[in-house]
Amino acid sequence: MGELTPEQIARLREQNLGPQQFAIVVVFTLLALITVCLRVYTRMRLVHLVGLEDYFIVLSMCLSLCTGIFQCLQVKWGRGTHTMFLKKEQIGGMLKYIYLGIVTYNLGLAFTRISILLSYRRIFTSDCMRISVKIALSICTVWGFAAVVIRLFSCIPINALWDISKKPIAKCFDEKAFFILNAGINIATNLTVAILPIKAIWNLRIPRGQRTVLVANLSIGWFICIVSGIRLQAFLQAFKHPLDRTFYDSITICWTAIELNLAIACACIPSLKALLKKILS
């Protein structure tokens, strides 16, 4: 900071990505909440059929709300501001909510995938598809909870994750390596969930146009894969600025909120068919 001119310091002080992060988190969390509410209404009042997958998507939404609250509280403690302007107490408070937010994010994403796969299990009855779904369910469940446990105990003692004074004596995982591994597995599982129903739908004895619509609806997860890739790229860019992560990581938080909430919204879209029919009629 000593090499900067007063004018440069003043410009850096004015830069704040916090309001942008707050707005994106609120907008996409509300989007997911609306789609989940519409799904619950459709399943309970119009279809009169509530399955296990509906309970899981509601759990995902609850975790998404927790994640959004933690992400907004990060802004309160200085997320989006350059590190040089933050006090030690602010950084500690922000790191605590980052820790909590990553845990709820991983759980929410895992429950969303489980909800989608449970829908596949109910829709497709062939033995081959059921076996594929069971394998995918096992992988998503095991890794989802493994990622949470790894994050919970990524530092010993645990409070070294937000108490930077204890960092020098703590034993911690390589944060960058874990994030890349987690993001890579998330992208792979998203691709699996997107690809899985295509062959089964195409073999259904229905008109080609209906098959195409079903594939588009159930494979909408392709878009989530793109978002996951963008999020990973944002994280790698933030790691190029290790001394100013509070500012540059704000973009990663934005894409985290977009990824989780769009995944929930996309999981709900196929369930809204009866509601759309009612509206159009």
CATH of 17-272, one of 3.30.70, 3.40.50, 1.10.287, 1.20.1070: 1.20.1070
Check: CB of residue 260 under 8 Å from CB of residue 101: no
Structural domain boundaries in the chain: 17-272
CA separation, residue 5 to residues 1, 2, 8, 228, 248 (Å): 9, 8, 5, 38, 21
Q: What is the pLDDT of residue 277?
A: 85
Which two tokens mark 60?
Answer: 């995902």
Kindly report the pTM of this predicted structure.
Answer: 0.90
Check: CB of residue 21 under 8 Å from CB of residue 253: yes
Q: What is the pLDDT of residues 22-37, one digit of tens each?
A: 999 999 999 999 999 9
Phi, psi of 163 (to 5 degrees): -100, 95
Q: What is the pLDDT of residues 98-151, one digit of tens each?
A: 999 999 999 999 999 999 999 888 888 888 888 999 999 999 999 999 999 998
Is the link from the previous residue into 157 a cis peptide, with omega within 30 of 0?
yes
Check: CB of residue 56 under 8 Å from CB of residue 110: no
- Tokens 């095991």 appear where? 142
Q: What is the pLDDT of residue 169?
A: 87
Spans in the chain with pLDDT lower than 70: 1-2, 206, 209-221
Check: CB of residue 137 under 8 Å from CB of residue 110: no
Q: What is the pLDDT of residue 242?
A: 87
CA separation, residue 231 to residues 107, 193, 224, 261 (Å): 17, 19, 10, 13
